[in-house]
Structure 1
Amino acid sequence: MTLETAPATPTRSGDSGHSPRRLALIVIVLALGGFGIGTTEFVAMGLLPNIAGDLGIDEPTAGHLISAYAIGVVIGAPVIAVAASRMSRRSLLIWLMVAFTAGNALSLVAQSYGMLMVARVIAGLPHGAYFGVAALVAAHLAGPGRRAQAVGQVMLGLSVANVLGVPAATWLGQHFGWRSAIAMVVVIGVVTVAALWKVMPSLNDMATTDPRTELGGLKSRQIWLTLVVGMIGFGGFFAFYTYLNTALTTLGGLAEWTVPIALALFGLGMVTGNIVGGRLADRLGERAIVIGMTVAAVALGLFALVVSTGWPAIIVAFLVGSSGSIALPGLQIRLMDVAHDAQTIAAALNHSALNVANAIGAAAGGLVISLGWGYRAPSLIGAVFALSGAAILSVAVLVDRRGAAAGSGTAVGTTG
């Protein structure tokens, strides 16, 4: 079945008729893959000194390994979405996780900086496509009324990785060498491949497309506007996160040992936000995105006010994580809906946009600090970014509704 004959909104049929327990198991397996991806994406940040020492390079040079992964994500999402558009969604998920595991296995055995750079790019290539296809599958199986909740639950894998996966892998890397952290990710990848093979239904009732259709989605103004919402709105999120450590220790006067607590609370906030955001998006639609980004702006502004008080700022870090993540499920669902027949590339590009947001946020935070505005400034600029994201979304929705109204009026005039 091609997407031209499939409904734009997934419906329950065929593979969708699973028991709630079976659906929960499928979502858990999809989230497990996200857990592995999230762990490998962020663990390198905490192990840069170990990697640099082992490979005989300086730490700034080792930092390029993080950029290499991000490059893989940005490139891989659209390329894989187009190239694999005709592939069964079940097969695509499995092969994406195989590629992810292979990239990390190559990292595990890399003996040179150049080889490790290549391995990090390969590991990053499946990132966006996996999350995009996993979101489409989860929404399809959950059916109307629970799509955003299912997407949010899949995204929990990424959030839980920040709470459990990254700290665990970092501990392993510090005590047994950085390769042990990568070995942990490889094991997660192998388990996920086996679990996908075992529990994932055939998904024969789920539409596939073709490269021309997916590329056609890039002509959609609504897709690009929604991607910009992610790039700008979540850019503020990353401006805050990048400099959270230094803000707490220099302005808040907190000891280094408190930083992992702050990061864990931030991660727990992301978990909470994904759960709440999924429910809100199913009930309120696009308004959930505006609510999330607006509350995030308030939380970011509040952090700037209380950061010098120390421990209260750590509590606010939880609020920033939870409010920011509220918008994620709704943003993913909006991309899938406005994409119409090009849902795969749109869903995958969401994660390219979030990686661009990471780069934009880190750069903007660094810029305001270099201008002498201090370490409160990244959270304040983050608040501006979050409000800007909400404003851009409001404009996108208004443009979409006016376009729909104009089309309806044209149709009425033609037939009347």
Structure 2
Amino acid sequence: MPRAVYLLGAAIFAQGTSELMLAGLLPEIAGELHVTIPAAGLLISAFAVGMLVGAPILAVTTLRWSRRAAMLAFLAIFALTHVAGALTSSYGVLLATRVAGAFVYAGFWAVASVTAVELAGPAARAKAMSILAGGLTVATSIGLPAGTLLGQHLGWRSAFWAVAILSVLAIAGVLATIPGGHAESAPELRAELKNMAKPQLWLAYSTTALSTGAILVIFSYLAPLLTQTTGLSAGWVPVVLALYGLGALIGITISGRTADDRPFGTLAVGLIGLILAAIVLALTTSTPWLAIPAIIGIGTFGFATNPAVNSRVFSIAGDAPTLAAAFNISAFNVGITVGPWLGGLSLNAGTGYPAVGWIGAALAILALTTIPLARRAAARTTQPTYEAATSITGA
């Protein structure tokens, strides 16, 4: 695997830490900016909205740029938004920097995905995507608790400065490892738009959104679930989150090595495991020795689906992957937005925290139903090629 792919994963770690760290800094931000906790929580929602719209818009507007130039521009703007966020005393300005930072982060994800897959080659695109997404997994297990600890001891602004510094280091890494100039054949907008008419792509996007929503409806409420229902002290929450992150890293690493050859099988195993783990959590939330392994299983099997869904999109997209990859980033963020929203609706209705496990299992079951549809669609796509080949050879 080219060194540049690992560098891109490290850049995702830097930016993904920013995406996640606010979950542990809301009380400090709310207190200093004199806003309520729910208002501070909107900073997290604003980031998700910025990513949702940023990927396709920036994929189109930078289509004719060299990928190196696009990633450098995105990282520079991302770093500047965090410098501005660290310096401001205005909630409105901080909210705007979150949207702007997420907007270019989504663009970086889209361009980095295409770059990583091209550098790795068609036979290893799932492995390349597992390394790229592994950066976000490490951000979950290391970046989130580190950012929280930094913010709690040195103030929340220090976490923003740390992300800005990491982003500058990522710029240096891109300059050192990513080749400059345009690809041999620059992407054409017409080909990219024509590609988006493929029903298989939208089926893949639905798998992405549903599987991501299944994970996030549970992950978003893990801290209160553990303290209020499972009965653990607050000190155990970072430990369980770290174990969840470790499971996620194991799952995404293993599936990155199987998804290229067996994408549908890898996806099915991941989703079935996620369904079972979510059901176990829903049934055993008040029993720590069963609930904690279930949470680790959700991280392991949930993240195991990531390389498969990413690889599937690139397989369908063929020679016009940029916009297709961008919409897949948006599909991830649909799941990130809708999953916690459904969990919130359920909790507000008084169902209790076991309900998030049942909702996660239901979303994963819906994602599982897309696999036979995708398999049949793939078979229909390859059949004409086979028939044409046999007619030429006379077989």
Q: What TM-score bracket applies, with the shorter chain setting the length?
A: over 0.9
The amino acid that maps onto 1:253 is G
Aligned to 1:288: 266
Report the Cα offset of residue 128 of structure 1.
2.4
Report the Cα offset of residue 283 of structure 1.
2.5
Equivalent-residue separation in structure 2 for 1:308 and 1:57 (angstroms) = 34
Is the 8 Å Cα contact of residues 52 and 330 (structure 2) preserved in structure 1? yes
Aligned to 1:99: 77
Equivalent-residue separation in structure 2 for 1:283 and 1:407 (angstroms) = 20
Q: Does 1:160 align with 2:160?
A: no
Residue in structure 2 matching 1:143, options 121, 140, 144: 121
Deviation string 1:35-84 (CA, Å, 9 cap, x unpaired) is 11111001111111111111111111111111111111011100011111
Aligned to 2:299: 321
Deviation string 1:176-215 (CA, Å, 9 cap, x unpaired) is 1111000000000000001110122237556431333333
Is the 8 Å Cα contact of residues 82 and 215 (structure 1) preserved in structure 2? no
TM-score, scaled to structure 2: 0.93
SS in structure 1 at match of 2:257: helix
Identity in percent? 35
SS in structure 2 at match of 1:341: coil
Aligned to 1:275: 253
Aligned to 1:359: 337
Residue in structure 2 matching 1:111, options 89, 99, 110: 89
Residue in structure 2 matching 1:376, options 329, 354, 365: 354
Residue in structure 1 matching 2:371, options 393, 403, 413: 393
Distance 1:198 1:45, change over 3 A: same
Aligned to 1:171: 149
Equivalent-residue separation in structure 2 for 1:207 and 1:374 (angstroms) = 54
Equivalent-residue separation in structure 2 for 1:170 and 1:391 (angstroms) = 38
Equivalent-residue separation in structure 2 for 1:114 and 1:102 (angstroms) = 16
Is the 8 Å Cα contact of residues 81 and 214 (structure 1) preserved in structure 2? no
The amino acid that maps onto 2:89 is Q
Equivalent-residue separation in structure 2 for 1:155 and 1:147 (angstroms) = 12
Is the 8 Å Cα contact of residues 214 and 359 (structure 2) preserved in structure 1? yes
Is the 8 Å Cα contact of residues 278 and 360 (structure 2) preserved in structure 1? yes
The amino acid that maps onto 1:182 is F
Distance 1:217 1:101, change over 3 A: farther
Deviation string 1:133-175 (CA, Å, 9 cap, x unpaired) is 2222222222243221121011111010111111111111111
Alignment of 1:135-284 (within 5 A): 135-202=113-180, 205=183, 207-284=185-262
Aligned to 2:66: 88
Is the 8 Å Cα contact of residues 212 and 332 (structure 2) preserved in structure 1? yes
SS in structure 1 at match of 2:196: helix
Q: Does 1:347 align with 2:325?
A: yes
Greater Cα shift, 197-206 or 323-332: 197-206
| Aligned residues between the structures | 394
Greater Cα shift, 248-257 or 188-197: 248-257
Distance 1:186 1:219, change over 3 A: same
Equivalent-residue separation in structure 1 for 2:183 and 2:332 (angstroms) = 30
The amino acid that maps onto 1:293 is L
Report the Cα offset of residue 399 of structure 1.
2.6
Equivalent-residue separation in structure 1 for 2:369 and 2:335 (angstroms) = 16
The amino acid that maps onto 2:154 is F
Unaligned ranges ≥5, structure 1 = 1-19
Aligned to 2:5: 27
The amino acid that maps onto 2:139 is A
Is the 8 Å Cα contact of residues 128 and 349 (structure 1) preserved in structure 2? no
Equivalent-residue separation in structure 2 for 1:410 and 1:144 (angstroms) = 23
CA RMSD across the alignment: 2.2
Is the 8 Å Cα contact of residues 5 and 119 (structure 2) preserved in structure 1? no
Q: Does 1:133 align with 2:105?
A: no
Aligned to 1:76: 54
Equivalent-residue separation in structure 1 for 2:184 and 2:328 (angstroms) = 21
The amino acid that maps onto 2:67 is R
SS in structure 1 at match of 2:192: helix
Equivalent-residue separation in structure 2 for 1:316 and 1:155 (angstroms) = 22
